[in-house]
Amino acid sequence: MDSVAEETSVENVGEPVVGSSPVKRQVGEEDDELSEVEPDAVPQEVREWLASTFTRQLSTARKRTDEKPKFRSVANAIRAGIFVERIYRRLSSATFLHLPPEVTKILKRVDEWDFNVWRLHEVSTNTPLRCLSYELLNRYGLLHKFKMPPATLETFLTQVESGYQKYKNPYHNNVHAADVLQTMHYMLSQTGLMNWLNDIEILATLMAAIIHDYEHTGTTNNFHVMSGSETALLYNDRAVLENHHICAAFRLLKGEESNVLVNLSREEYREFRSLVIEMVLATDMSSHFQQIKAMKAMLAMPDPSALDKAKALSLVLHCCDISHPSKEWTLHEKWTKQLLEEFFRQGDKERELGLPYSPLCDRNNTLVAESQIGFIDFIVEPSMGVCGDVLDKVAALSIPATPTISEEPQKQLNEPGGPIKRPVRPSGVVGTEVRRPWQDYLAANKTRWKERAAKDAEVRAEMALGHKNVNGDLEEENEEDFIKEEEDKGANENLEEADKEEESAE
């Protein structure tokens, strides 16, 4: 049987940018982005955190292979998808990983923006990443297409899941990876993005999400650099964590019992590896501003083929990685709590090592609500906006303006457990406009943080005014200061009185 579908190039509209010139960013260029931030719009500490997290000297140079993207005709893909589905259904029951019924029940909502990955974490007895990865690789027909041996798949997914728990991180763990994977699945399946990709590109996109924070140490790149860690030494202080995630994952993929790529051709493996490396390296936050700027420039070009596929997929993964502020409040609030605890544990380490606190890492002096308002305003909202623009552009490229197969946009993309059919018009697209469910949640969450910030400010004011400690007593040393302050104030008032009398006497 030929590949999943006859590769017929409809038209070479996706010509990649050949030999993308090395992008050497001038130092301080993205600092200009920060200069737009009104100095008093955010507290100094939030500004510092923005600067230390999202700006860094960066240069990338990569030669793109001169590949000609082939667009399979949608009709062929649907026919082939149905064909694969029939064969694969028979095969899939033979596979190892049998999902418990309550997991299958939760996964019925995997196509939704509101999917609750914490529920999946609970019902899967802390194997959300393994269950979700298996379900999606199966539903996209990739287990069959790339003949992944079931036992090998089971070993690989089990080892990836445990690698995410190596450092017992509150945030950067297997649940975060599952969250990013499910969000990427939403982008692929509900916006038509998958129609723009061939099977290797879909495999690489899902795998990049699965491994993007593999063996995360629970500390930032800054911490690795400042503390001179072995990993920072190994990667010369550049994208330290991201380089480790990729290297450690590919080392796993080379292992005899965990090499799920064993049946890929040499060319397929090269294409897969190159895309996964580019996508995961692009999750390094220090390349954020440069990435957004470059994508905006690419989107502004009139020629649709200017949209570089690897860069577009990298941006979408980066947005999935910082997407929880654009999810329902209870999910976002929980992620925030987990992340800040992870930052505070780093701060505790910095104090022990005699290092200065990194921004947001001092558990006694961090303005959580304010920092989240800053994160949403300056990072997440702009990023999700550009992500929506990329998806609109891709939808215009790859989804015919009028449905050719069925008038009705497919309601339920796929019955759970069955392979993904390539939808002509996924439910998340109206015309060629991609729905943006994240917008309302971002606005609602920002309002919640502003309310929280106002309350926090009141509490701080009372604490300062009343010089009350946490159990409400006047503190001795404060009492003396307090009395001194009153005396000074009194003295000042007398001085003002005297000045006024002098003026009136003249």
Binding to Zn ion by residue 242, rule CB under 5 A?
no
Per CB under 5 A, the segment of 62-70, 115-123, 205-213, 340-348 that binds Zn ion is: 205-213
Binding to Zn ion by residue 321, rule CB under 5 A?
yes
Binding to ligand PCG by residue 375, rule CB under 6 A?
yes
Selected from 111, 213, 242, 308, the binder of Zn ion by CB under 5 A is 213
- CA dist., res. 38 & res. 468, Å (int): 33
176 is in an annotated binding site: yes
| CB count in 10 Å sphere of residue 465 | 9
SS3 23: strand
By beta-carbon proximity to Mg ion, the closer residue of 77 and 361 is: 361
Please give the torsion angle defined by the CA atoms of residues 325, 329, 335 and 341, in that order, rounded to the nearest 10 degrees: 110
Choose the contact partner of 325 out of Zn ion, ligand PCG, Mg ion, none; CB within 5 to 8 A by kind. ligand PCG
Least Å from the CB of residue 245 to Mg ion: 7
Binding to ligand PCG by residue 339, rule CB under 6 A?
yes
Least Å from the CB of residue 344 to ligand PCG: 12
- CA dist., res. 224 & res. 466, Å (int): 41
By beta-carbon proximity to ligand PCG, the closer residue of 148 and 285 is: 285
Binding to ligand PCG by residue 322, rule CB under 6 A?
yes
Burial of 134 (0-12, 13-18, 19+ CB in 10 A): buried
CB 419 within 8 A of CB 81: yes
By beta-carbon proximity to ligand PCG, the closer residue of 71 and 375 is: 375
CB 231 within 8 A of CB 241: yes
* Catalytically annotated residue among 144, 172, 244, 318: 172
- CA dist., res. 377 & res. 37, Å (int): 10
Selected from 81, 218, 325, 423, the binder of ligand PCG by CB under 6 A is 325
Q: Can 144 be counted among the known catalytic residues?
A: no
Least Å from the CB of residue 472 to ligand PCG: 32
Least Å from the CB of residue 22 to ligand PCG: 24
Binding residues for Mg ion, rule: CB under 5 A, are: 213, 283
Binding to Zn ion by residue 342, rule CB under 5 A?
no
CB 406 within 8 A of CB 426: no
Any idea what DSSP says for residue 38? Answer: -
Q: Tell me how far the alpha carbon of residue 191 is from its chain's centroid.
A: 17
Question: Of the candidates 211, 275, 266, 269, which has an alpha carbon nearest to the alpha carbon of residue 244?
Answer: 211
Least Å from the CB of residue 177 to Zn ion: 7
CB 245 within 8 A of CB 215: yes
Bridge partners of 430, per DSSP, are 433
Any idea what DSSP says for residue 379? Answer: I
CB 7 within 8 A of CB 76: no
172 is in an annotated binding site: yes
Token couple for 481? 């200061």
- CA dist., res. 196 & res. 316, Å (int): 14
By beta-carbon proximity to Mg ion, the closer residue of 190 and 346 is: 346
Tell me the number of residues near Zn ion by CB under 5 A.
Answer: 2
Q: Considering only residues 155-214, where is the footprint of ligand PCG by CB under 6 A?
A: 213
Least Å from the CB of residue 319 to Zn ion: 11
CB 279 within 8 A of CB 269: no
Q: Considering only residues 257-316, where is the footprint of ligand PCG by CB under 6 A?
A: 283, 285
236 is in an annotated binding site: no
473 is in an annotated binding site: no
By beta-carbon proximity to ligand PCG, the closer residue of 127 and 286 is: 286
SS3 10: coil
Binding to ligand PCG by residue 321, rule CB under 6 A?
yes
Least Å from the CB of residue 46 to ligand PCG: 9
Query: Which amino acid appears at position 324 of this protein?
Result: H
By beta-carbon proximity to Zn ion, the closer residue of 321 and 342 is: 321
Choose the contact partner of 371 out of Mg ion, Zn ion, ligand PCG, none; CB within 5 to 8 A by kind. ligand PCG
> What does the angle CA 86 – CA 87 – CA 91 come to, to the nearest 5 degrees?
120
Q: Which residues contact 491 (CB under 8 A, 6 or more apart)?
A: none
Q: Which residues contact 69 (CB under 8 A, 6 or more apart)?
A: 9, 12, 13, 14, 15, 16, 198, 309
By beta-carbon proximity to Mg ion, the closer residue of 85 and 213 is: 213
Q: Which residues bind Zn ion (CB under 5 A)?
A: 213, 321
**Binding-site residue positions for AMP:** 172-176, 213, 321, 372
Q: Which residues bind ligand PCG (CB under 6 A)?
A: 213, 283, 285, 321-322, 325, 336, 339, 360, 371-372, 375
**Binding-site residue positions:** 172-176, 212-213, 321, 372
**Binding-site residue positions for Zn(2+):** 176, 212-213, 321
Which residues are designated catalytic? Answer: 172
